[in-house]
Structure 1
Amino acid sequence: MSSLSLVFIWLDRRSGNLPGGNQKLKEKFRKLLSPIRQFDKPNSCLDSIELSLKDKCVFFLTSDSFADEEFLKKIASIPNIYRIYIYDQQGNGYQFDDANLIKKLGSERIIQFDEQLYKQILLDLIKIYSKESDQAGQGKQAKELLESAVKLINTIDDKDEDLQQLEKYLLTRIGYLK
């Protein structure tokens, strides 16, 4: 999987260029994954994922207004959905029973604040790049994947200790590659 096979889907009633449409957050996300495909209707979003994004690894974000368990179970059942995030601005504290949904969502992906959401998506992307690097072996492709992961970390101005340690680890791995 290359970075070209990753796609970010954002389902939100305030999608687009409407006032309050989360433009600053979208600009930050474009540093991680571009393009961002935005939807404001669940059915058109679901159809797009099922029909035109079969060969993509999908990061799916929705807001409180579309965090219905039945709809999210449908999303989670799609094989190419890698992660599901809920931007929980209202602090609803969601609880779900579906095992597949829980696997793709997890409690760390129900997030109330922009910076936490950005960091979690970044960490999930780094996991993908690291895994792909492991599969690529010791060559140029492995090094490029790890370098891409380091570039993602560098999109954060104020790195916490965990990110600093992760960056050091990745740089050490890069140093051992040809």
Structure 2
Amino acid sequence: MSLLSLVFIWLDKCIGNLPGENEKLKEKFRKLLLPIRQFDKPSSCLDSIELSLKNKCIFFITSNSFVDEEFLKKIASLSNVYRIYIYNQEGNDYQFTDTNLIKKIGLERIIQFDEQLYKQIILDLIKIYSKESNQSRQAKELLKSAVKLLNTIDDKDEDLQDIEKYLISRIHNLK
């Protein structure tokens, strides 16, 4: 997988309708140098993922308004959807039964606050880059990208600092 094959899909009723809605968070995503495709209708979103984005690795983000287990099961069943995030600003309690959906969401990806959402996406990207660097000629580039992503987080806790040190040591060990 190359860095160019990653795409964010953001499905939200407010996208495109309300000026300024989640703009701060979307601006941070743009710093990741990954495209953000925005949708406000589940059917057009699903069609786009299945047809025009089938060769891309998808990070799917949605809000409370589109948290329907049947729809999310369809999204989770697509092999090109790597992770599903629920931007849960209302603090709803979600219980899913589909194992594939649970695997792609996990408890850590139902998130109330924008900084937590951003941080979790960074951690997931780092996992992809680290895994790919074990199998790729582009290892150094991927690991440098992972460090660059970490540096976009304003408040790094001890775990993030340890991840950064680990990534830098791996970069230095590569020829």
Using structure 2 for the length normalisation, give the TM-score. Answer: 0.97
Aligned to 2:25: 25
Amino acid at match of 2:9: I
1:38-77 residue pairs with structure 2 within 5 A?
38-77=38-77
Provide the aligned C-alpha RMSD in A. Answer: 1.1
1:110 match: 110
Q: Take 1:41 and 1:93, find their aligned partners in 2: how far apart are those partners?
A: 23
Q: Aligned letter for 1:107?
A: L
- Can you give the 5+ residue segments of structure 1 that lack an aligned partner in the other structure? none
| Identical positions, percent | 80
Match of 1:172 among 152, 169, 175: 169
Aligned length: 175
Partner Cα distance (2:40, 2:99) in 1:
26
Does structure 2 conserve the Cα–Cα contact (< 8 Å) formed by 1:88 and 1:110?
Answer: yes
Measure, in 1, the Cα distance between the counterparts of 2:106 and 2:55: 24
Residues in 2 aligned to 1:16 and 1:132: alpha-carbon distance in whole angstroms: 34
| Equivalence map 1:1-178=2 (5 Å) | 1-16=1-16, 18-136=18-136, 141-178=138-175
Q: CA deviation at 1:21?
A: 1.8
CA, structure 1 residues 96+33, in 2 after alignment: closer, same or farther (shift >3 Å)?
Answer: farther
Deviations 1:78-115, CA, capped at 9 Å, x for gaps: 11000000001111121100000001000100000011
CA–CA distance in 2 between the matches of 1:59 and 1:132? 16
